[in-house]
Amino acid sequence: MKRWRLDIHGTLPADLRRRGVFDDINNDVRVLPGVYHMRDDALLLYDAIKTYVEKYVELYFPNDDLITTDTEIQDWGRELVRQREDGGLGILRPVRMGTILEMIAQRDTLPKLMYITKVLSQKTTKSLGDFEKQLIVDPLAVKIVEEFRQTLLDIGHQIDERNHTRTHPYEWLHPMAIPNAISI
């Protein structure tokens, strides 16, 4: 199994490049121009979220040494790779088909699970960047959040403009349609 890396294999630009629909080196979207709405809108959001996270992390960890010497971050990292038996999350590995079949609900339970899934998948939170509780009080961090919110507003306006010219408007990645949750 080849070694997987988030920065190489797990980003939107990498996924689009691997599928042959984006050249992120030249920011080239000439493949399927004007018709691959998910790519075009998602790249706007990807860049906004990436910039927001980078600024926020760099505010508190301007260099790698601060991360490597932060005991809480290092403990968290160790917990992620510690075996489940030892209280960690364990290394994820392919699941056997038998294990998957054992996890599927019995026929009488399935409708209840479908209902719960529907309820849990409904948007019940605020939109991306609009936090339920305002827990950020550091003025420098507040400024970063405000910049992120403004970027999201700008992206929303850009998507609105695109949707006026699209044969079929694409609303799914409008910042107002995305819940402010880790499940996005």
CA distance 39 to 20: 12
State residue 28's pLDDT score: 64
CA distance 58 to 156: 26
Under a CB-based contact definition with an 8 Å cutoff, are residues 129 and 152 in contact? Answer: yes
- Looking up tokens 């121009």 gives 33
Looking at residue 90, its pLDDT comes to: 65
* Cα-based distances in Å from 72 to 62, 84, 130, 141, 154: 17, 19, 27, 20, 36
Give pTM, 2 decimals. 0.74
Q: Which residues contact 52 (CB under 8 A, 6 or more apart)?
A: 144, 145, 147, 148, 151
Per-residue DSSP letter, 35: T
Q: How far apart are CA 177 and CA 156, in angstroms?
A: 10
Q: What is the pLDDT along the chain (184 residues), one digit of tens a residue?
A: 467 777 777 889 888 888 888 876 666 666 777 788 999 999 999 999 999 999 999 999 999 999 999 999 998 888 877 776 776 666 666 567 777 677 776 778 888 888 888 877 776 678 999 988 889 999 999 999 999 999 999 999 999 999 999 989 999 999 999 988 876 5
List residues bridging with 23 in a β-sheet.
Answer: 28
SS3 23: strand
pLDDT for 138: 97
**Residue 146: its pLDDT value, please?**
98
Evaluate whether 175 touches 45 at the Cβ level (below 8 Å). yes
